[in-house]
Amino acid sequence: MLDVATASPHRLLLVDPCSACVELQARLSDAGWEVITAALDQPVPLQCDLGMLRLQPGHVANLGRLKILLSQTGIQWVVAVSRELLEQPGVAQFVAEWFLDYHTLPFDDARIHIALGRACGMARLRRRYQQQAWPSEELFLGDSDEARALRNLVMRIAPTDTPVMIRGESGSGKELVAQGLHAGSRRKNAPFVAVNCGAIPEHLIQSELFGHEKGAFTGAHQRKIGRIESAHGGTLFLDEIGDLPLELQANLLRFLQEMQIERVGGSQPVSVDVRVLAATHVDLEKAVSAGRFREDLYYRLNVLEVRTAPLRERQTDIVPMASHFAQLYTAETGYRPRNFSSGAINAMLRHSWPGNARELANRVRRGMVLAEGREIEAMDLGLASAAEPGIDSLQTWVLRAERQALNAAISHFPNNMGKVARQLQISRPTLYRLLHKHQLR
């Protein structure tokens, strides 16, 4: 008989149960588990501690769909599988990638007790760990001074309706900041409309921004609402504003002054209520001096200013961000998030990241697809040359010392995080944050 002694029952989700699973369910219930059954295509009930899937041949025929379901549930899983099915091509790899533990059929009370108990404890630990490491209200990844300052600034200016100019290198999170400003404003339930001013052909941008009336030009078969008007009540984000043609700059300035537009081919002004955010990676002051950008428009847009720091100035954020991207691309790549090897971490810390967070995301995606071992290596990220010995920055040495200190303390007290924290003379929340930052589970 199974024996689970807990103050509150563990909640186990049993998916696609077989006849043997029904018998097991009764014994688990007697032992103190709260067992919930569901079909594979049903929504997953909330607040389950663990999920168990009885893997069947029909599932193996559509592993892609099954991976998407598992990744969207937000809980950890154990699989019950027959030895014959486990030997089929691809099944063992799927089980190793996607489940905390597995149980070979037929069910054995002693073995299933160990598997479920161990997996349930690990699932709760991971959930608590993730909640401490990644608060849901964070709108910009990282714990560096630069990331914290950016979050604080965005939180302070988000509630206002004042125009904001967001500056930073390509890939450094300018649109993420704009979305954060919108999410923290009174307009958060209204549209957020993003326009890349450099991606729209010059002969179309007037119509795209301001819209047009039916018959305004050849091919205008019906009225079109422009991007500005479609953002009414919400936020208009003008990305790469420095690429906007001078003629359009004059029209945009008139709109910002009057909060009215005229559609192409129209004669009646249309009032629009939007908050305008703009972003650029170019030096607008130089563009103004060179006559490529209107000075009056510059001052109209640049009332408040937010700057995003390049990734090379935020080294302490690189590994946590890489781990986040690994989790994000789980469903797309079809693999569980892998940890990064020490060589990969060193390579990431040495790399200059000219493409910033966007480059990091793409390299992690590449690494998850190409990695053949249990960890992602520098070669998988395309950073093999950066892993070669060289002169490290002071920050790299600090990060390396942090990791070594954590490993040493954990080796002395592997099962007592309280003693680990006291040994390192830090608080438990700080310990959990450092464990997450260095991928030490």
CATH value at residue 123: 3.40.50.2300
* Residue 300 binned pLDDT confidence (cut-offs 50, 70, 90): very high
Task: Specify which of 30-34, 51-55, 187-191, 384-388 reaches the highest per-range mean pLDDT.
Answer: 187-191
Q: Residue 419: which domain range?
A: 312-437
The burial of 323, by beta-carbon neighbours within 10 Å (0-12 exposed, 13-18 middle, 19 or more buried), is given as: buried
Q: Do residues 214 and 262 touch, judged by C-beta distance below 8 A?
A: no
Q: What pLDDT is stored for residue 302 in this prediction?
A: 92
Q: Are residues 289 and 349 in the same domain?
A: no
Could you tell me the sign of the dihedral formed by the alpha carbons of 407, 409, 414, 416, in that order?
negative
Residue 376 φ/ψ, nearest 5 degrees: -85, 125
Could you tell me the sign of the dihedral formed by the alpha carbons of 281, 287, 293, 296, in that order?
positive
Which runs of consecutive H residues, i.e. helices, occur in 188-245? 202-210, 227-230
The total number of structural domains in the chain stands at: 3
Residue 4 domain flag: no
Cβ count near 48 (within 10 Å): 20
Could you tell me the sign of the dihedral formed by the alpha carbons of 176, 181, 183, 189, in that order?
negative
Q: What pLDDT is stored for residue 132 in this prediction?
A: 42
User: What kind and span of H or E run contains 166?
Assistant: strand 164-167
CA distance 379 to 387: 9
Residue 188 domain flag: yes
Q: Are residues 123 and 201 in the same domain?
A: no
Tell me how far CA of residue 27 lies from CA of 33, 50, 82, 114, 346, in angstroms. Answer: 9, 17, 20, 14, 50
Q: Are residues 164 and 63 in the same domain?
A: no
User: Position 180: which residue type?
Assistant: G
- The token duo for 218 is 């050849």
Instruction: Say which range, 209-213, 296-300, 303-307, 350-354, has the weakest mean pLDDT.
Output: 209-213
* Residue 6 binned pLDDT confidence (cut-offs 50, 70, 90): very low
Q: What pLDDT is stored for residue 125 in this prediction?
A: 62
Which runs of consecutive H residues, i.e. helices, occur in 13-141? 19-30, 57-60, 63-73, 83-86, 91-98, 109-133
Q: Are residues 297 and 316 in the same domain?
A: no
Q: Are residues 268 and 336 in the same domain?
A: no
Last residue within a domain, chosen from 309, 341, 368: 309
Could you tell me the sign of the dihedral formed by the alpha carbons of 414, 419, 425, 429, in that order?
positive
> What are the residues whose beta carbons fall under 8 Å from the beta carbon of 198, sequence distance 6 or more?
239, 240, 243
pLDDT in tens, 125-180: 655 544 443 333 345 677 777 888 888 888 888 988 999 999 999 888 899 899 99
